[in-house]
Structure 1
Amino acid sequence: MPHFLLVEDDLPLARGVALALAGEGREVTVCASAQQARKALEKPVDLVILDVGLPDGNGLELCREIRLFSRAPVIFLTANDTEADEVAGFRAGGDDYIVKPFRVGVLRARVDAMLRRAGGEEVLVLDGFRLDFAHAAFSKDGQPITLSAPEQRLLRALVCERGRTVRRETLIDRVWTDGMEYVDENALSVTVRRLRKKLGEGYIHTVYGVGYRWGDRDGG
C-alpha cells in the first residue's frame, strides 16, 4: 500500500489534499509541522508532499534532511512562486514544485507520475526511441545511441515532462547535480545541441526566452 506523507500547516487544505489522494489502496499521513514530520519519517514513506513555510521550520531544510536517508519523491506545495523559489526547491532535493493555488487534478497527475518513476519504470518507449535510464541504454529504431551523463540527465528531464516547457534554469539545476554553484548557461546550449545531433532534429523544441520542450516530429 503506497504511503504518502503530507506536511502542511493549513489543515483545511491538508484535509482536502489528503481526501483527494487517498483511496485506491493509498494511505496519507498529515503533519502540520516539521517536528511531526520527522516523527512520521521514522517509518518508510513512498512520497512526500511538503510545504516550504512551516510553523517550526523551513521545508527546504526538511527536504535536505530527508535526502540524507530516503530517495522517496518530494513534491513541494507552496505559495512561494518566484523562479528563485522553484530553483531553491530543486536544489534542496525536491522532484517537483507546485504553486498554490493549484488544481487537485494536476496534483494527482503529478503524484501518479512520481510514483511510476520511483517504482522503477525507467524504460520509456516513445517516438521510436527506447530509453532505459536505469541501465544507460538508449536506441532509436533499434540502433544504439551513446549518451554522456549530462546528455542522459537532460533527456530524462525533458521526456519526463513531455508536453511541458522546462525552464533553462530548471534544466541546469537537474543536469548539473554535482553541487556546482555556477554553471555557464552556454553549457546547456552546447549539451542541447549535442543531444539533438545524436537523436535527430524535431524532438527537442526551443521555447525562446524560456527553455525547451520534448515533442515528436509533428511538435506534439
Structure 2
Amino acid sequence: MNRILLVEDDIALSNGIVMALRDEQTELVQCASLQQARECFVAHCVQLVILDVNLPDGNGLTLLKEIRETSSTPIIVLTANDTETDIVAGLEMGADDYVTKPFSLAILRARVNAQLRKQGSANASYFQQSGFAFDFDAMLFCKENTAIELSKTEQKLLRLLVENRGRTLERSMLVDRIWTDSAEYVDENALSVTVKRLRNKLGDDTAKPRYIKTVYGIGYTWAVE
C-alpha cells in the first residue's frame, strides 16, 4: 500500500487530487496547513509528499527543507504558473519534481506514478515483514502503518539484523559495526540496552521476543518467518 501525504489548502483541488490518485494500492492523507502536515508526516509512514507552496500558515518550501533534514521521501511541489523562483528553490532544496498550476490531474497522476516506480526500483534498503515496513534510506520505520521513531544507533542495529536475517550476529561484531565512529571504548552493555529499547519500540515481547531473538552466549538474530 502506498500512502501519499497531500498538503493543499484548496479543498476542492485537494479532493479532486484524491479522486484522481486513490485506488486499491494508494491511500492519501490530506492536510491543509504546514502545522497539520508536520504532524501527519511524523504520525504516518508515507511514500510520497505532494506539497503546495502557498499555504495559509506559511511557505510549503519551509516544510520541504525540514523534511530533507531527516528524510529522502520523494516530494512533488505544486506551484503557481508564474513562480519560477519557487520551482528553482524547491528543486535546489531537494524536491524530486514539480507541477505548475493549473495542471491536468492525469499529468499529476503520471508524475506520482513515476516517483513511486523510481522509489520501488531503487529502494534496495526497503524491508517489509509481518506489518513492519522499514525504509532505511528514507529513515522511515512503521508498524501497522504507524510511524516509529528510532535513534541512529537503533537504526544501525535494526539494519544489520534485517539485512542478515536468519543469521546469528555476534555481539562483538555488532558493537564494532554500530559504534564505528566512536573514539571511546563502548561497553557491550550498551548493545544490550539498545536491543531492549529497539524491541520495546517495535512491540517485540522482551520476555519472549518474536523478531529479535537472543542466541545465548553468541549474539542476536532477526527471525525469518
Q: TM-score, normalised by structure 2?
A: 0.52
Q: Report the secondary structure of 2:121's partner residue.
A: coil
Q: Report the secondary structure of 1:72's partner residue.
A: coil
Residue by residue, what CA displacement relative to the aligned partner does 1:20-47 show, whole Å, maximum 9, x if unpaired? 1101321000000001001101122100
Residue by residue, what CA displacement relative to the aligned partner does 1:31-65 show, whole Å, maximum 9, x if unpaired? 00001001101122100000001111111110010
One-letter identity of the residue aligned with 1:107: L
1:33 correspondence with 2:33? yes
The aligned residue for residue 90 of structure 1 is: 91
Which structure 1 segments of 5+ residues have no match?
A: 123-220
In structure 2, how many angstroms separate the alpha carbons of the residues matched to 1:83 and 1:54?
Answer: 17
The aligned residue for residue 190 of structure 1 is: none
Preserved CA contact (<8 Å) 1:79 1:99: yes
In structure 1, how many angstroms separate the alpha carbons of the residues matched to 2:103 and 2:5?
Answer: 18
Q: Report the secondary structure of 1:78's partner residue.
A: strand
The aligned residue for residue 2 of structure 2 is: 2
Q: Report the secondary structure of 1:85's partner residue.
A: helix
In structure 2, how many angstroms separate the alpha carbons of the residues matched to 1:69 and 1:2?
Answer: 20
In structure 2, how many angstroms separate the alpha carbons of the residues matched to 1:4 and 1:69?
Answer: 18
In structure 2, how many angstroms separate the alpha carbons of the residues matched to 1:89 and 1:7?
Answer: 15
Q: Report the secondary structure of 2:5's partner residue.
A: strand
Preserved CA contact (<8 Å) 1:4 1:49: yes
1:19 shift after superposition = 1.1
Preserved CA contact (<8 Å) 1:63 1:93: yes
Q: How does 1:73-84 map to 2 (within 5 A)?
A: 73-84=74-85
Q: Report the secondary structure of 1:81's partner residue.
A: coil
- The structure that has the greater radius of gyration is 2
Q: Report the secondary structure of 1:119's partner residue.
A: helix
Tell me how many residue pairs correspond in the alignment: 122
Q: Report the secondary structure of 1:75's partner residue.
A: strand
Identity %: 56
Q: How does 1:141-220 map to 2 (within 5 A)?
A: none
The aligned residue for residue 170 of structure 1 is: none
Q: TM-score, normalised by structure 1?
A: 0.53
The aligned residue for residue 186 of structure 2 is: none
In structure 2, how many angstroms separate the alpha carbons of the residues matched to 1:80 and 1:10?
Answer: 16
Preserved CA contact (<8 Å) 1:76 1:89: yes
